[in-house]
């Protein structure tokens, strides 16, 4: 087998003092969850690093291709196992470098000798291996500071372990280490990105979507399900709560003057989201709002909408430009789905020029003529819940919910 194991470094985790153990366990569980389809995976967690092994090359390739998406990993290195002789170590190093660009590149060999009975001194091993390697590759030269390839050889009791690359991980914190939030997930570009950012901070997510059939189609709901599925690929199950929102939108349409109907719509959404949040034991609500993007996202609008709850509403994109958000959406793979042209429940009912500075007194005055609470409660009670990824066995990962 080409690679014997993968060395995983935690980075941010190791700075967390007493919480470290808990975070390490969380990361270990999350890696198991992400690689449920790699049954031969074995994990060995140490204080500041973790080793992953599999039984086949194919499983190893699966790990290497998907590890960059797992939050809480600072970097990782594929490691090859070899016999404890100078020639074997040099040959393995050469085999590893053969698959990388060496022309015009620099390298350095660092040896750590944990097996003190090994007959050569550390410096001697470095020198002997390096000279064989440099002789083999014409364009490769030695460089002690900041080389392109830092070849690390660790000599242990059973064998020598060699790595030449440090691959960047996703960073952040393991999902689940910072509680649960409820993401308001539309079919747009922004909210999936907002969800991704919270997952990266270790927050577990449920998602809520407002659906208004027949004004919004089954296809627009499918699109939101696809987005929830995509978010669930970042290390944890995502439950999607679909709220039947048609009745409330029709009542708003009849009762609330057009220029503030958008504000009331948003307020009802937030009220419903807050009840669902309470029901699932989440602590905060997350939205994809970004300041000034549309009429509902001015500070005046956000204030009038936010008035319905004291629950923290987290808006990770509030200060981001649209171009940056689009770029992120492309990177995390949600963009293509987000731009599918299906109608949104808000755009259908909302007038072409809603107020950018709604007056809260006016909004609450108009709302007072209708008993919205009963509609709100009904919407919460009749919601449908889906779980992603669909293929996962519910039972085996209940502890991760
Ligand atoms: P997005 O790209 O996320 O749809 P947007 O720029 O289109 O955002 P709005 O449509 O005004 O802005 O929505 C603002 C936020 O309100 C969204 O990011 C999302 O969090 C929430 N939201 C809007 N519509 C819905 C919906 N139908 N279901 C759930 N949440 C919604
Ligand atoms: Mg939208």
Closest residue (by CA) to atom 20 of ligand 1?
287
Antiparallel, parallel or unpaired: β 204-211 and 284-286 = unpaired
Same domain, 378 and 257: yes
Flag whether 285 is in a domain. Answer: yes
pLDDT score of 292: 83
Cβ atoms 116, 72 nearer than 8 A: no
Q: How far is the CA of 191 from the centre of ligand 1 (A)?
A: 6
A 10 A CB-CB count for 144 gives 9
Residues 115 and 231 in one domain: no
Residues 251 and 314 both lie in one domain: yes
Q: Are 329 and 335 in contact (CB under 8 A)?
A: yes
Contacts of 385 (CB under 8 A, 6+ apart): 239, 240, 241, 242
Number of domains in the chain: 2
**Do 17 and 163 share a structural domain?**
yes
CA distance 74 to 67: 11
Q: Please give the residue range of the domain that contains residue 28.
A: 5-168
In terms of phi and psi (left: phi > 0; alpha: psi -120 to 50; beta: otherwise), the region of 238 is: beta
| Same-domain status, 128 and 220 | no
Q: Are residues 115 and 232 in the same domain?
A: no
- Any known ligand binding at 205? no
* Domain end (from 139, 168, 197): 168
What is the CA angle 229-231-234, rounded to 5?
A: 115
Helix (H) or strand (E) holding 25: helix 20-34
Q: 145 and 255, same structural domain?
A: no
Best residue among 185, 191, 335 to mutate for probing ligand 1, ranked by most atoms within 8 Å of CB:
191
In a domain, 173, yes or no: no
Which helix (H) or strand (E) is 384 found in, with range?
strand 384-388
| Phi, psi of 180, deg, nearest 5 | -120, 140
Task: List the Cα angle 11/15/19 in 5-degree steps.
Answer: 110
- Tell which one of 181, 184, 186, 295 to mutate to probe ligand 1, the residue whose CB is within 8 A of the most ligand atoms: 186
Please tell me whether residues 220 and 109 are part of one structural domain.
no
> Which protein residue has the closest C-alpha to ligand 1 atom 9?
289
213 token code pair: 């059939």
Mutate to test the pocket of ligand 1, among 197, 288, 325 (most ligand atoms within 8 A of CB): 288
| Shared-domain flag, residues 335 and 290 | yes
* Residue 395: inside a domain: no
How far apart CA 263 and CA 128 sit, in angstroms, is: 73
Distance (angstroms) between ligand 2 centre and the Cα of 186 equals 6
Residue 33 known to bind ligand: no
Q: Does residue 349 fall inside a structural domain?
A: yes
Residue with tokens 């153990």: 21
Considering the domain architecture, whether residues 337 and 223 belong to the same structural domain is answered as yes
Alpha-carbon span 237 to 401, nearest angstrom: 7
Q: Is residue 400 part of a domain?
A: no
Atom of ligand 1 nearest to the CA of 208: 29
Tens of each residue's pLDDT in the chain, 401 residues: 789 999 999 865 555 566 788 888 999 999 998 898 999 999 998 878 899 999 999 999 999 999 999 999 999 999 999 999 999 999 999 999 999 999 999 999 999 998 989 999 999 999 999 999 999 999 999 999 999 999 999 999 999 999 999 999 999 999 998 999 999 999 999 999 999 999 999 999 999 999 999 999 999 999 999 999 999 988 889 999 999 999 999 999 999 999 899 999 999 999 999 999 999 999 999 999 999 877 778 999 999 999 999 999 999 999 999 999 999 999 999 999 999 987 776 666 766 677 888 889 999 999 999 999 999 999 999 999 999 988 654 444 444 44
Question: In this structure, is residue 397 part of a structural domain?
Answer: no
Give the pLDDT confidence score for residue 117 in this predicted structure.
92
* Side-chain-facing half-sphere of 272: CA atoms under 13 Å: 30
Provide the CATH number for the domain around residue 20.
Answer: 3.30.2130.30
Given 168, 196, 225, which residue is the final one in a domain?
168
- Per-residue DSSP letters for 273-324? HHHHHHHHT--EEE----TTSSGGGSHHHHHHHHTT--S-EE-TTTT--HHH
Which ligand number lies closest to the CA of residue 209? 1
- Is 358 inside any structural domain? yes
CATH number for the domain that contains residue 251: 3.40.50.620
What was the pLDDT predicted at 400?
45
Do 203 and 327 lie in one domain? The reply is: yes
Query: Does residue 303 share a domain with residue 240?
Result: yes
In a domain, 105, yes or no: yes
Between CA 287 and CA 393 the distance in angstroms is 29
Q: Give the end of a domain, one of 147, 168, 189.
A: 168
Is 270 annotated as ligand-binding? no
Asked if omega into 214 is within 30° of 0 (cis), the reply is yes
Residue 288, both tokens: 């994809």
Q: What is d(CA 315, CA 358) in angstroms, rounded to the nearest whole number?
A: 20
Nearest alpha-carbon partner for 92 in 81, 103, 101: 81
Task: Name the residue with tokens 């490769």.
Answer: 140
């Amino acid at each position: 087998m080409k690679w014997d194991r993968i060395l995983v470094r935690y980075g941010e985790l190791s700075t967390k003092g007493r919480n470290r153990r808990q975070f390490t366990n969380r990361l270990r569980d999350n890696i198991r969850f992400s690689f449920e389809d790699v049954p031969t995976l074995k994990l060995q967690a140490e204080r500041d690093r973790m080793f992953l092994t599999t039984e086949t090359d194919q499983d190893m390739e699966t790990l290497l291709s998907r590890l960059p998406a797992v939050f809480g990993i600072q970097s990782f290195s594929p490691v090859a196992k070899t016999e404890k002789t100078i020639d074997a170590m040099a040959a393995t190093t050469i085999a590893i470098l053969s698959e990388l660009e060496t022309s015009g590149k620099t390298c350095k060999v660092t040896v750590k000798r944990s097996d003190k009975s090994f007959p050569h001194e550390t410096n001697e091993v470095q020198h002997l291996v390096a000279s064989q390697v440099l002789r083999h590759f014409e364009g490769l030269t030695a460089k002690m500071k900041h080389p392109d390839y830092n070849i690390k050889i660790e000599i242990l009791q059973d064998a020598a372990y060699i790595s030449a690359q440090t691959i960047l991980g996703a960073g952040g914190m393991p999902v689940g280490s910072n509680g649960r939030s409820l993401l308001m997930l539309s079919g747009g570009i922004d909210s999936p990105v907002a969800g991704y950012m919270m997952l990266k901070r270790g927050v577990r997510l449920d998602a809520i979507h407002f659906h208004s059939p027949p004004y919004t189609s089954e296809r627009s709901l499918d699109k939101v399900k696809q987005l929830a599925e995509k978010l669930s690929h970042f290390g944890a199950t995502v439950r999607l709560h679909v709220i039947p929102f048609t009745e409330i939108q029709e009542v708003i349409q009849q009762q609330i003057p057009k220029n503030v109907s958008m504000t009331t719509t948003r307020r009802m959404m937030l009220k419903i989201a807050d009840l669902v949040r309470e029901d699932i034991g989440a602590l905060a609500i997350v939205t994809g709002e970004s300041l000034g993007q549309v009429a509902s996202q001015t500070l005046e609008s956000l204030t009038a909408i936010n008035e319905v709850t004291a629950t923290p509403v987290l808006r990770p994109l509030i200060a981001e430009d649209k171009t940056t958000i689009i770029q992120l959406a492309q990177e995390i793979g949600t963009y293509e789905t987000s731009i599918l042209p299906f109608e949104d429940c808000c755009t259908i009912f909302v007038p072409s020029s809603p107020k950018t500075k709604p007056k809260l007194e006016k909004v609450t005055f108009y709302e007072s003529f209708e008993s919205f609470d009963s509609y709100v409660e009904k919407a919460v009670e009749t919601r449908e819940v889906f779980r992603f990824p669909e293929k996962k066995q519910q039972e085996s990962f209940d502890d991760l919910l």
